[in-house]
Amino acid sequence: MINKEDSSKQVLTLADVPTGEYGVIVRITGHGSFRHRLMEMGFVRGEKVKVIRNAPLRDPIEYEIMGGHVSLRRIEARRVEVVPVTEEIANNYLFHGTITEETERILGKAGKRIRVALVGNPNCGKTSFFNHVTGMREKVGNYSGVTVDAKVGYHPFRDYTIEIADLPGTYSLTEYTPEELYVRQYIMDERPDIVLNIADASNLERNLFLTTQLIDMNVPMVMALNMYDELERNGDTLDIATLSELFGFPIVPTVSSRGTGIDEVMARIVDLYENLEEHTKHVHINYGVDLEKSIDIIKEEMREHLDLSGAYSTRYLAIEMLAGDKVITELVGKFDDDGSVAKVAGEQRAIIEKRYNEDAATIVSGAKYGFVRGALLETYTQGRDKSKQPAYSVDKILTNRWLGFPILVFFLWFMFQMTFTLGAYPQAWLESFFGWLGDVVTRVLPDGILKNLLVDGIIAGVGGVCSFLPNILILFFFISILEDTGYMARAAFIMDKLMHRMGLHGKSFIPYIIGFGCSVPAVMATRTLENRKDRILTIITIPFMSCSARLPLYTLIISAFFVKHQGLVLTSIYLLGIVMSIVTSLIVKKAAFQNERDQFVMELPPYRIPTFRNAMVHMWDKSVQYLKKMGTVILVATVIIWALEYFPQHSPQIDGYTARIEQVEADAGLSEADRDARIAQLELDRSACQIENSYLGRFGKFIAPVFRPLGFDWQMGVSIITGFAAKEIVVASMGVLYHSDAEADEHSSALQRSLRTHTWSSGPDIGKPVFTPWVAYGFMVFILLYFPCVAAVTAIRREAGRKWMLFVIFYTTAVAWLAAFAVRLISFAVV
């Protein structure tokens, strides 16, 4: 099918070199990660290779390279182009990692040939370009279908011979027309060294669609932005430098009818060719959570069942199979003996099509246009002719410079409002349910350790946490809807400028919003960020977004100590968290990521009407982590804390109280009411004494000096420590430690009362209240900023690695202490 009038038939590969003979590597063909892997094994241009064992039809082939032995499969060896050399030349030739004159001489003509394929839409000026470069006279016409197959021409540039193939024009690289099939097949089989994508600058949105398919194919690419004169005449502007950075390949403006820019294109081609091994930035088009998941599943199946060995990019094959491309499916079928990949791909396609109620190929194209629109919105401004505005009309409003931000704020306000007002009802039901459960267990079980464990440990601890579940679910439900409609992508767009100031990417905005619900899914949501710097910066600053688990503590403290301006106090806490995350991100960026400056396309996916089912599925995905945390970490932590506080049960002092209680009970001289009151008081004192004497109490006293400068007493210190497990536990711990009267009908108000009346029992402030509004505020600041929680830290470790986990642990805790100390100092200055 492919017309091979070029000289590629004479190309020799490592697989053709017989046993005992030598070759010097000219180039590696194949997709990026494959080249990279071979390079790591030492297969680079200019390196010499000896064939140790190469039996025809036998795999693998063994080679000696850089003094070591490696084996390659035949299919891999075919991707390594070589020139054969005699033993004598090989023995005298030493490669030191740089191309010397000697290398050039050995490689000869083979090393000086760059094979380039012209790919572009019909009428974008490919043939004009080709004619200009090669001096040939192919027919140029303002109609499509002129070029029917590959015409090959040659162009000497610097000391290279550039071999250019003019391919038929296509709008796409699928399987619908013979031209499309032909071009795709050409790229996959002939493996040009560089694909030169020619795009019509006066019709970017449509032309760049083809580009997205080339990006998926992961081929080395340079773009000629042709018809640049037209773009300028229309008064449009395009930020080429940014676009080039977004796409990850060089872009050169050209006017091929006049020959403008052609030398620059050739120069970029040679640069890219010479640095192919270093060229690592490869952009992925993000197809959204659902599709990406399916792509990963198909890829995984390929990894297990296929032996493609770098012949094709598995991501590309997976995307095409998901979209249902028959030719690619057939191709993969040749490598796949039991057809399992096709089966898995079919299943995934069915899932996607059912969920979106749309053809998978259409969904994939939609995402590609989203990528193009996102890139253009950032780099392209329309001049006089407004008719070709590359954006949806709704986008004109939603991402408008003036309207976008207020609309976003409104949506967020609405979302949080719904979370807390709607969530308040089920929260109250759950609270009364657990209250009832505690009562029942108290009545049914005999006094003793088991009852205590169940009621004060498990039901109080896990129940308290459970009551937050409705809020979390509602928040995630709204976030899922915003994501599914495509609005979140616009939100990222609106926030991008602001986020850039913090050294972050607009896409970080979504994880931050999720972070107000729970850090764990927020950390996982950073996976949509392509670049490691952005991911790390976002991950380590997410803990400062006050998660909903901290809210009960704020509520408790604010209603106890701030009568006026309650909303303001709460807002100030949230804002402080945001400010800290900005400061942190700026500092870490300066310190650790100075030289990394990458931009990525923010896809603007098509708007969709969200389905209830999808929103539920996505909500569930996000909530699962939270539920797991409750069933494991929180349960275990509550039991441990309970045990540390329950034991030991006896000490001379405690037994002294018990004896006095018995004495009072036996005292016949007291009236009944009098006796009950005195017993209640003694019991309260006894339990206070017991807690103080417990392991938890002793530990709290031991670490109390750390918290003393902040104005915190040891009970606060212990509550903070218990919050390591989960922030929800802090309030529960305080309830126990400040031995609020458990019989008061409204638990939290009882706790508030005992907080207000709690005084220092020792030290310089003896007798004075522990909680002043300033101390209370400092305490909230500490809770806001310190160690996120075990579950979040585990997630951070999984996503960012050990080093960053340790950083987060120490940094957040240090910042919390310093900030609370600052509050303390200010209080001294003010009072």
Q: Contact positions toward ligand GDP, by CB under 6 A?
A: 120, 122-128, 140-142, 146-147, 169, 226-227, 229-230, 255-257
Q: Measured from the CB of residue 228, what is the shortest distance to ligand GDP in angstroms?
A: 7
CA 76 to CA 54: how far, in whole Å?
A: 13
- Beta carbons within 8 Å of 632's beta carbon, 6+ residues apart: none
Interhelix angle 314-322/360-379, nearest 10 degrees: 120
786 contacts 778 by C-beta, under 8 angstroms: no
78 binds, among Mg ion, ligand GDP, none (CB under 5 to 8 A by kind): none
464 binds, among Mg ion, ligand GDP, none (CB under 5 to 8 A by kind): none
Decide whether 201 or 734 has the Cβ nearer to ligand GDP.
201
Q: Measured from the CB of residue 273, what is the shortest distance to Mg ion in angstroms?
A: 24
CA 283 to CA 286: how far, in whole Å?
A: 9
Place of tokens 């000289």: 7
Q: Measured from the CB of residue 327, what is the shortest distance to ligand GDP in angstroms?
A: 24
Q: Measured from the CB of residue 203, what is the shortest distance to ligand GDP in angstroms?
A: 12
226 binds, among Mg ion, ligand GDP, none (CB under 5 to 8 A by kind): ligand GDP
618 contacts 709 by C-beta, under 8 angstroms: no
- Beta carbons within 8 Å of 438's beta carbon, 6+ residues apart: 455, 459, 460, 463
Q: Measured from the CB of residue 124, what is the shortest distance to Mg ion in angstroms?
A: 9
383 binds, among Mg ion, ligand GDP, none (CB under 5 to 8 A by kind): none
In single-letter form, the type of residue at position 676 comes to D
Q: Kindly report the CA angle at 133 between 130 and 137, in degrees rounded to 5?
A: 60
CA 111 to CA 97: how far, in whole Å?
A: 16
Q: Decide if residue 146 touches Mg ion (CB under 5 A).
A: yes
Binding mask 113-142 for Mg ion (x = CB under 5 A): --------------x---------------
Decide whether 211 or 690 has the Cβ nearer to ligand GDP.
211
What six digits make up the tokens of 798? 């999984």
Decide whether 120 or 423 has the Cβ nearer to ligand GDP.
120
DSSP state of 458: I
CA 753 to CA 771: how far, in whole Å?
A: 11
CA 72 to CA 62: how far, in whole Å?
A: 7
- Within 13 Å of residue 746, how many CA atoms lie on the same side as its CB? 6
Interhelix angle 747-757/728-737, nearest 10 degrees: 60
Decide whether 214 or 588 has the Cβ nearer to Mg ion.
214
User: How far apart, in Å, are the Cα atoms of 627 and each of 427, 458, 474?
Assistant: 16, 16, 14
Decide whether 141 or 235 has the Cβ nearer to Mg ion.
141
128 binds, among ligand GDP, Mg ion, none (CB under 5 to 8 A by kind): ligand GDP
CB count, 10 Å around CB of 609? 8
Decide whether 233 or 698 has the Cβ nearer to ligand GDP.
233
What six digits make up the tokens of 150? 């590959």
Q: Measured from the CB of residue 262, what is the shortest distance to ligand GDP in angstroms?
A: 10
Decide whether 145 or 801 has the Cβ nearer to Mg ion.
145
Q: Measured from the CB of residue 222, what is the shortest distance to ligand GDP in angstroms?
A: 16
190 binds, among Mg ion, ligand GDP, none (CB under 5 to 8 A by kind): none
Q: Measured from the CB of residue 125, what is the shortest distance to ligand GDP in angstroms?
A: 3
Q: Measured from the CB of residue 27, what is the shortest distance to Mg ion in angstroms?
A: 28
Tell me the sheet residues that pair with 223.
197, 251
Backbone angles phi, psi at 179, to 5 degrees: -60, -45
CA 770 to CA 756: how far, in whole Å?
A: 8
690 binds, among ligand GDP, Mg ion, none (CB under 5 to 8 A by kind): none
Decide whether 146 or 422 has the Cβ nearer to Mg ion.
146
122 binds, among ligand GDP, Mg ion, none (CB under 5 to 8 A by kind): ligand GDP
- SS3 string, 750-763, reads HHHHHHHHCECCCC
- Helix, strand or coil, per DSSP, at residue 151: strand
Torsion angle of the four alpha carbons 292, 293, 299, 304, in this order, in degrees rounded to the nearest 10: 170
Size, binding site for Mg ion by CB under 5 A: 3
In single-letter form, the type of residue at position 765 comes to D
Decide whether 127 or 213 has the Cβ nearer to ligand GDP.
127
Q: Measured from the CB of residue 202, what is the shortest distance to ligand GDP in angstroms?
A: 8
Decide whether 140 or 422 has the Cβ nearer to ligand GDP.
140
Decide whether 3 or 19 has the Cβ nearer to ligand GDP.
3
Decide whether 226 or 526 has the Cβ nearer to ligand GDP.
226
Q: Decide if residue 211 touches Mg ion (CB under 5 A).
A: no
Q: Measured from the CB of residue 185, what is the shortest distance to Mg ion in angstroms?
A: 18
Decide whether 30 or 120 has the Cβ nearer to ligand GDP.
120
124 binds, among Mg ion, ligand GDP, none (CB under 5 to 8 A by kind): ligand GDP
123 binds, among Mg ion, ligand GDP, none (CB under 5 to 8 A by kind): ligand GDP
769 binds, among Mg ion, ligand GDP, none (CB under 5 to 8 A by kind): none
DSSP string across 611-671: PHHHHHHHHHHHHHHHHHHIIIIIHHHHHHHHHHHH-----HHHHHHHHHHHHHHH-TTS-
327 contacts 385 by C-beta, under 8 angstroms: no
12 binds, among Mg ion, ligand GDP, none (CB under 5 to 8 A by kind): none
Q: Decide if residue 614 touches Mg ion (CB under 5 A).
A: no
Q: Measured from the CB of residue 167, what is the shortest distance to ligand GDP in angstroms?
A: 9
Indicate the length of the chain as a whole number: 831
Q: Kindly report the CA angle at 356 between 355 and 362, in degrees rounded to 5?
A: 135
Q: Measured from the CB of residue 174, what is the shortest distance to ligand GDP in angstroms?
A: 19
523 contacts 555 by C-beta, under 8 angstroms: no
CA 491 to CA 513: how far, in whole Å?
A: 11
CB closest to ligand GDP, residue no: 125
Decide whether 23 or 122 has the Cβ nearer to ligand GDP.
122
659-668, Cβ contacts within 8 angstroms, sequence gap of 24 or more: 661/686
CA 464 to CA 437: how far, in whole Å?
A: 12
- Helix, strand or coil, per DSSP, at residue 321: helix
CB closest to Mg ion, residue no: 127
Decide whether 119 or 691 has the Cβ nearer to Mg ion.
119
CA 197 to CA 805: how far, in whole Å?
A: 43
Residue of 29, 147, 254, 528 interacting with Mg ion (CB under 5 A): 147
227 binds, among ligand GDP, Mg ion, none (CB under 5 to 8 A by kind): ligand GDP
Q: Measured from the CB of residue 336, what is the shortest distance to ligand GDP in angstroms?
A: 37
Decide whether 98 or 142 has the Cβ nearer to ligand GDP.
142
600 contacts 528 by C-beta, under 8 angstroms: no
- Choose one: 59-67, 70-78, 145-153, 523-531; the region binding Mg ion (CB under 5 A): 145-153
Q: Measured from the CB of residue 172, what is the shortest distance to ligand GDP in angstroms?
A: 15
Q: Measured from the CB of residue 227, what is the shortest distance to ligand GDP in angstroms?
A: 4
Where does this chain bind Mg ion (CB under 5 A)?
A: 127, 146-147
